Structure 1
Amino acid sequence: MVFLLIIGLILGILMILVSVIVKLLGLKPPLIFDKYPLKGIFYRVKFWLALLVLRRLRYRIYRRNEELLGSEEHLAKIDRPQELSNDPKSYDVVSFMAANKEGQKLMVSLERRRRGVLKAALYLWLPGKGLFSSPNLPDMIYFTTEDGEESSEFQGGGFHLYQEESMKMWRIKYNGMLKCQRDVVEEVLVDLDLRFKSSSAEHFDYNRDLSSSLIADSIAREAWNEKFYSLLRSVNHIVEKRTHYEQNGELTGKITFQGDDLSLKMQGFRDHSFGTERCLSSINRYVYFALFMDDGSSMVVGNLSQPSFFLSSLKVGYVCSPSGKYEPLTGSNFELYSYGEKGTPPQHQNFIVSTKEKEYLIQIQVEASAVRYVGGDWESKVFNQFVACTVNGVSGQGHAEFLYRHKEGRPEDISSRDPSWYRNIKRFERSLTLLEEEDGDFIF
């Protein structure tokens, strides 16, 4: 009897200790601008717990399945245009960013949504000639089919992006008008035909390859409350619903401006993202740099703030060597609250990032910029910057994106030209959104 009482007492004490620990881990850390958490008193404990869980999770999902995930069949499956599911938020995005020593820069992005809705943007920066952009910008929405029929290609609005060889070669075509952003905006007829080629199937998968230490750092700064534990229980579902990888390569071809040919040869990368978990209205901010160095190396540096997903400040990125070897960033002092928090991106940025092997001092200077709006109801405002850079003394060129929340909606003078079926869907979605506690995304 005494033994049972002792066992009960020990269990009771253990339960109290667990309850106290859970409450302590759930304490809110200090916040900068009421958004970005600092390291709380239990940061170190939470960091090592998060790191342990992440490593076990990645081993179970990726490491023990490397042979399958690296097979030609699997790579061919994820590289082609994806079949959009019945989920209303299903998406499939292919983007290209490129630059060269001469300072020429190109950005092309096409996002497929259901019913033939395409969100497209093209920017071309040519020193001495200025910035050219696709004619619909800052709006990105195109309707590529009659009466909202489904589409299976990255095609529409003069664009056509398609695969020529799985994980090796893609074609980028555009035929139509581009706006020239000079003192007086004018349109020029352009025929663009480029080929993106990668030397191998190697790529950087954000779910698989992003530094576990950077993810653990972001998680350890958050309050571990019931919402966090609920999210943790559904992590497998979340991983299955979003795929994002990038692949470095070379972009070559020509652009014809009203009969005059311009040959292009650039260092660049291709981004492919697809799934159903892409909620723009839940993203507070992000900043993203894609830099291409004169020595043939490149790097991506970013910081994402999505508090509803317990990532108030997630640092991301990698360095790619001239031979195509990817090394994830393990550290970065680029903090969102220090760069453009009030809604105006800075024209100069200096920060330090590191991999396991090396530290990099990055210096950015903006040469030109433009604004576009992302989302079916312009949920986000993106500043696209075209930059020159220096990394550890090596010169380069590249791109930067600063994304902010935008709550003013898509203007009536633009949305009034949308097809009737699309306007009806938006009205229906708006009625559903008004019933929710938080702002929701439009399906498109």
Structure 2
Amino acid sequence: MFILTVICLSLGFVVALLSLAMLLLSRKSMLIFGKYPCKGVFYWLKYGIALLVLRQLRYRIYKRNEELLSSPEHLATLDRPQPLTSDPKSYDVVSFLAANAAGQKLMVTLERRRLGVLKVALYLWLPGEGLYCSPKLPDMVHFTTDGNEESSEFQGAGFHIYPEQSMRSWRLKYSGQLRHTMEMETEQETEIKEQQLLSVQLDLNFNSSSDHFNYNRDLSSSLIADSIAREAWNDSFYSMLKSVGHIVEKRTHYEQSGELDGSIVLGERRLELHLRGFRDHSFGTERCLSSINRYVYFALLLDDGSSMVVGNLSQPSFFLSSLKMGYVCTPKGIYQPITASNFELYSYGEKGTPPQHQNFIVHTEEHKYLVQIRVEHSAVRYVGGDWESKVFNQFVACTVNGIGGQGHAEYLYRNNTGRPDTVSTQDPQWYQRIKRFERSLSNLDLVNEEDFIF
């Protein structure tokens, strides 16, 4: 009887300690601008726990299966256009960001969605000439089918992007028009001088001899642990942890450095392009723009042959109010994850206007980098079927540890204006019917039987 009493008291004491620990860990840290958590009293304890759990999770998903995941068969499956599932959030995106020492810059992104919906943006920045861009921008939505069939490749709106050799070579073609915006400098400000549509033929080949950087597998565990350790570990947080493995499997994002070579015909003029850059491929079902508060992303190409990606994502609903990310790629194509960064979202463009100059420091395990950025030009596009996000695409010059370079920056913000009627009334009837149905669900209105969810 005495032993049983001691056991019961001991168990009660352990339960009380665990309850107290969970209560303390659930406390919210001080928030900057009501969004970005500081390091709380128990930051280091939570950091250590998060780091341990992350390493175990990555070992179970990636390290233990490294032979399979690095096989040519798996990489070929990963690198091709992905079949879209019945999930209404299913997506498949391929993007290219490139630049050269002369200051020429190219950005292309194609996002495949269900029923043949394609979201497209192309920017070409030529120093002394101005910006060439997709004629429909800032709207990105295009329709490649009649709404009764799915797409199976990155094709439509004049584009065709496809792999020629998995993880080695991709072809990028565009035949259509680009809007050319000329500018002139006045004593007061920069003004738009002229806009015209030009017929364009673009044919580029992306080649890479390097491996790829998989964000789920290769992003520094210390950066993820830092973000998680700043959050309140409440009931919602523990519920999310139970499904994190499932969520990771539903979201793939990898990048690869390489070279873009080819030609573009602008009107009656032919221009040869030789650029260095990145190819991005993302697909899955867990990509909800409406849950993202902000993000900033830099892709920098340096004159010594190295390159750098630096970013910061704010997605509080996923307990990542400020997740820093990125890597440095050496001239030999070796990726070194960034382990620390002092780039804080609240210090750069929090009120909705991106800065024209940015200076910050990032670290890898071996080096420290002082990054200095100057914006040369910027353009705006809206992302999402209802323009859920507003993106400022910046074309920048940079200096990293005294080495010059060129590149791109993206500043994404939440947008609540919706997609204007002047734009949406030009959509096919079947797509307009889908959007009406989605709005009726939000408003709890009655709907017709013919309506369906996209």
Cα displacement (A) at 1:443:
7.2
- Which residues of 2 match residues 85-164 of structure 1 at below 5 A? 85-164=85-164
Aligned 8 A contact 2:101 2:405 in 1: yes
- Which residues of 2 match residues 29-428 of structure 1 at below 5 A? 29-182=29-182, 183-200=193-210, 202-428=211-437
Q: Distance in 2 between matches of 1:2 and 1:427?
A: 70
Cα displacement (A) at 1:185:
1.3
The alignment partner of 1:138 has SS state of coil
Percent of aligned pairs with the same residue?
71
RMSD: 1.2
Q: TM-score, normalised by structure 2?
A: 0.95
Q: TM-score, normalised by structure 1?
A: 0.97
Aligned 8 A contact 2:395 2:408 in 1: yes
Aligned 8 A contact 1:117 1:148 in 2: no
In structure 2, what residue type is equivalent to 1:314? L
Q: Distance in 2 between matches of 1:347 and 1:87?
A: 40
Aligned 8 A contact 2:312 2:324 in 1: yes
The alignment partner of 1:108 has SS state of strand
In structure 2, what residue type is equivalent to 1:71? S
Q: Distance in 2 between matches of 1:50 and 1:381?
A: 32
Cα displacement (A) at 1:149:
2.0
Aligned 8 A contact 2:79 2:167 in 1: yes
In structure 2, what residue type is equivalent to 1:378? W
Q: Distance in 2 between matches of 1:414 and 1:17?
A: 59
Cα displacement (A) at 1:434:
3.7
In structure 1, what residue type is equivalent to 2:5? L
Greater CA drift, 35-44 or 138-147: 138-147
Aligned 8 A contact 2:301 2:405 in 1: yes
Q: Distance in 1 between matches of 2:441 and 2:11?
A: 48
Count of aligned residue pairs for this structure pair:
438
Report the equivalent of 2:4. 4
In structure 2, what residue type is equivalent to 1:126? L
In structure 1, what residue type is equivalent to 2:94? V
Q: Distance in 1 between matches of 2:329 and 2:91?
A: 27
Aligned 8 A contact 1:135 1:177 in 2: yes
Change (3 A) 1:21 1:53: same
In structure 1, what residue type is equivalent to 2:294? R
Cα displacement (A) at 1:431:
2.1
Aligned 8 A contact 2:289 2:389 in 1: yes
The alignment partner of 1:181 has SS state of strand
The alignment partner of 2:224 has SS state of helix
In structure 1, what residue type is equivalent to 2:255? E
| C-alpha distance after superposition, 1:394-427 (max 9, x if no partner) | 0000000000000010000000011111111111
Aligned 8 A contact 1:376 1:443 in 2: no
Aligned 8 A contact 2:147 2:431 in 1: no
Q: Distance in 2 between matches of 1:149 and 1:50?
A: 44
In structure 1, what residue type is equivalent to 2:352? G
Change (3 A) 1:127 1:443: farther
In structure 2, what residue type is equivalent to 1:135? P
Report the equivalent of 2:186. none
Q: Distance in 2 between matches of 1:328 and 1:36?
A: 23
Q: Distance in 1 between matches of 2:74 and 2:437?
A: 38
Change (3 A) 1:46 1:305: same
Aligned 8 A contact 1:148 1:421 in 2: no
Cα displacement (A) at 1:236:
1.1
Cα displacement (A) at 1:147:
3.6
Q: Distance in 1 between matches of 2:139 and 2:133?
A: 11
Q: Which runs of 5+ in 2 are unaligned?
A: 183-192, 446-451
